[in-house]
A and B are shown apart, each in its own frame.
Chain A
Amino acid sequence: MCLAIPARVVEMPDADTAIVDLGGVKKAVSLALIDDVAVGDYVIVHVGFALNKLDPVEAERTLALFAQMNDLVAAQDAAAGSA
């Protein structure tokens, strides 16, 4: 039910409809719940409706945070190794 998925908008045949690409499968979804969607945006698709847009800047920030955690652990390991 709640397993909505991120999908890329590849076409917008009209203002209320987007064609999204889901791993090669194309599907029409309703844009009735969100504004300002453009081709190339990623949206969260749930029961045939786009619920929200994904923010690429915030996504990069989250991934950077994960990577930072990895660096921190590597540094700790190195410190433990040299101790």
Chain B
Amino acid sequence: MKYIDEFRDGELAKGLAAAIAAAARPERQYAFMEFCGGHTHAISRHGVTDLLPANVRMVHGPGCPVCVLPIGRIDMAIRLALEHRAILCSYGDCLRVPASGGLSLLKAKSHGGDVRMVYSPADALEIARENPARQVVFFAIGFETTTPPSAVVIKQAAALGVKNFSVLCCHVLTPSAIMSILESPEVRRWGTVPLDGFVGPAHVSTVIGSRPYEFFAAEYRKPVVIAGFEPLDVMQAILMLIRQVNEGRCQVENEFTRAVTREGNRKAQDLVAEVFELRRSFEWRGMGTIPYSALAIRQAFADFDAERRFALEYHPVPDHKACDCGAILRGVKEPRDCKLFGSVCTPENPIGSCMVSSEGACAAYYTYGRHREGGAG
């Protein structure tokens, strides 16, 4: 057992595809949103859409942390590197996201900024310890999977008394984003898609557990099936969603029992609660400002909060006018509906965030689905 190949078996996929076809009632349409960029990637890469009947449609959601990061937040990171002359440490996927003034973190580096790609927040803390004369900032982005590691390094920095390390906290919360898709003022602007249920996040759920989704199932009458990131996992989750819809059930079910429990990882949750608190509001790219949808560093760890240390202010920046990332992140449009897709906007020259990260819907379509004309992608 390696927990990968077994869950990609082509023969078993055929069986699951047949079971899905048998379960889906021909007289109705099914639309399910896969929240996670990881699922979008798996669905595109393994051609899962090709195995689904025409009346079962997958809608891509906003679960790619790079895609939902607004330009104004990247501008803050660039200011730290260029104006405050800090060593700015970032995960690799943020480096090429277009920011204001034709800049990106990578271009800021070519303008003399000390921008460094790190694999782990622990690497950023190490860089701070190796460069005591410089300020080192970790650009912390991501959902509930990346938040606990950020909490660990902040606590380590405090315990070690590291004076030149801080974190630009841009961590966001999955349940808030799902709620915003179901109910928010932006729905009027972008329109909305009828959704019959959600494929729930895999790794986010290993941390927060399946319990936070019970609210959606109960309050919004939407079934949620948490699924692993391998193609068979996604197909099994789709089958479980179709069955719930057919039977009129709206429950939280867990396909990913090998890694997800109802309670999640309590140790990680406690660390996050100790270091972070809810932000009153946070702007998401393409989703607008969502109340209590992100985290800030608690007062007790204020010394490690880059926003306070450098008195940074957030300035919202509108997206490129022709870019449809906002509508794509909400599942209202598909990548090929955007007139920039594949022409001006490519993974080599991304205009919008959905093309930058490999988990973005546009990048996944461009890489794996571009050859296909029409259909659901």
Could you list which residues of chain A lie within 8 angstroms of chain B, going by C-beta atoms? 1-6, 8, 30, 32-35, 42, 44, 46-49, 51-56, 58-63, 65-67, 69-74, 76
A69 touches B255 (CB 8 A): no
Residue of A nearest to B264 (CB): A52
Residue of B nearest to A56 (CB): B1
Give A48 to B37 CA distance when docked, in angstroms.
20
B132 CB to nearest A CB, Å: 22
Q: A2-B65, A63-B6, A70-B15 are in contact. Are A30 and B36 (CB under 8 A)?
A: no
Q: A54-B3, A55-B258 are in contact. Are A1 and B359 (CB under 8 A)?
A: yes
B152 touches A4 (CB 8 A): no
B259 on the A face (CB < 8 A): yes
Residues of chain A with a CB closer than 8 A to B204's CB: 2
Residues of chain A with a CB closer than 8 A to B141's CB: 1
B255 touches A47 (CB 8 A): no
Residues of chain B with a CB closer than 8 A to A55's CB: 257-259
In the A-B complex, the 4 residue pairs with the closest CB atoms:
A48-B120, A70-B15, A6-B3, A59-B258
Q: A1-B146, A30-B149, A54-B3 are in contact. Are A66 and B15 (CB under 8 A)?
A: yes
Residue of B nearest to A72 (CB): B19
> Total A-B residue pairs with C-beta atoms closer than 8 Å?
152
Q: A1-B65, A69-B16, A70-B11 are in contact. Are A34 and B236 (CB under 8 A)?
A: no
Q: A30-B149, A47-B120 are in contact. Are A2 and B359 (CB under 8 A)?
A: yes
Residues of chain B with a CB closer than 8 A to A2's CB: 36-38, 63-65, 142-143, 145-146, 201-204, 359
A33 touches B257 (CB 8 A): no
B357 touches A47 (CB 8 A): no
Give A35 to B266 CA distance when docked, in angstroms.
11
B377 on the A face (CB < 8 A): no
Q: How many residues of B contact A (CB 8 A)?
A: 61
Residues of chain B with a CB closer than 8 A to A63's CB: 6-7
Residues of chain A with a CB closer than 8 A to B22's CB: 73, 76
- Chain B, residues 239-273, CB within 8 Å of chain A (1/0): the string is 10000000000000001011110000101100100
Q: A47-B91, A47-B120 are in contact. Are A33 and B15 (CB under 8 A)?
A: no
A1 touches B267 (CB 8 A): no
Chain B CB within 10 Å, residue with most, of A3, A5, A34, A44: A3
Residues of chain A with a CB closer than 8 A to B120's CB: 30, 47-49
B178 CB to nearest A CB, Å: 15
Select B41's contact among A3, A61, A70, beta carbons within 8 Å: A3
- Chain B, residues 185-204, CB within 8 Å of chain A (1/0): the string is 00000000000000001111
Chain A CB within 10 Å, residue with most, of B120, B202, B233: B120
A47 touches B149 (CB 8 A): yes
B145 touches A51 (CB 8 A): yes
B265 touches A51 (CB 8 A): yes
Residues of chain A with a CB closer than 8 A to B71's CB: none
B267 touches A44 (CB 8 A): no
Residue of A nearest to B228 (CB): A62
17 A-B pairs (CB sep. < 8 Å):
A1-B66, A6-B4, A35-B267, A42-B1, A47-B91, A47-B121, A47-B146, A48-B119, A48-B149, A49-B122, A51-B268, A54-B258, A56-B258, A66-B236, A69-B18, A72-B19, A73-B18
